Amino acid sequence: MKRTYSVLFVCTGNTCRSPLAERILKARMREKGWKGINVSSAGTGAAEGAPASDGTKGAARSMGLSMAGFRSKPLGRRRVARADLILTMTRHHKADIEMRWPDAAGKTHVLSDYTGSGRGAITDPLGGSDGAYEECAAGLSDEIARLLPMLERAAARVATP
């Protein structure tokens, strides 16, 4: 039996939305004491090793989170193959993944579609005001709150010996 369940958040540059989603979900999982779920992020157009944007760091701080040590990662075949669930910020990201890796179609979803929130795309705050980053963080926090019950079943499956 597989001992971990892997969630991958995807945006474009992997310096704003997807790393913030990663840190929010990891924090919520720690609060719940969940083990056995691996959470990561990557970008469809990301360079390797860039830090989170300053706006992302500020939005994370305002939520009591840290982006310390975060470095961007490009999306590639290996990351896609290892993921059990891929959650994208926009329909464009989902389409890009499905075009490049057709076998990932069944496990790739726009975050808001997967949670059923009806929110649509999580808008990229890159280059925007602090308010744009705060709005992005609030939207991601809401989506992840909706995601948690769905992941609870996965967490229970991998925690069972």
User: What distance in Å separates the CA atoms of residue 21 and residue 144, rounded to the nearest whole number?
Assistant: 8
> Average per-residue pLDDT in the chain?
94
pLDDT in tens, 44-96: 999 999 999 999 999 999 999 999 999 999 999 999 999 999 999 999 999 99
pLDDT in tens, 28-56: 999 998 888 999 999 999 999 999 999 99
Give the catalytic positions in this structure: 11, 17, 124
What's the rounded mean pLDDT across residues 121-147? 96
Please give the single-letter amino acid code of residue 55: G
pLDDT at 1: 46
User: What distance in Å separates the CA atoms of residue 88 and residue 107, rounded to the nearest whole number?
Assistant: 11
Count of structural domains, the chain:
1
Closest Cα partner for 13 from 89, 95, 82? 89
Residue 161 · residue 9 · CB < 8 Å? no
The model's pTM: 0.94
Q: Domain of residue 122: give its range.
A: 5-153
Beta-carbon contacts of 59 under 8 Å, excluding residues fewer than 6 positions away, are 20, 125, 130, 133, 134, 136, 137
User: What distance in Å separates the CA atoms of residue 129 and residue 50, rounded to the nearest whole number?
Assistant: 20
Does residue 107 fall inside a structural domain? Answer: yes
How many alpha carbons fall within 13 Å on the CB side of residue 29? 22
Q: CATH no. for residue 88?
A: 3.40.50.2300
Q: Which residue has the higher pLDDT, 24 or 155?
A: 24
pLDDT at 132: 96
Residue 158 has pLDDT above 70, yes or no: no
Does residue 124 fall inside a structural domain? Answer: yes
Does residue 148 fall inside a structural domain? Answer: yes
Tokens of 28: 């919520």
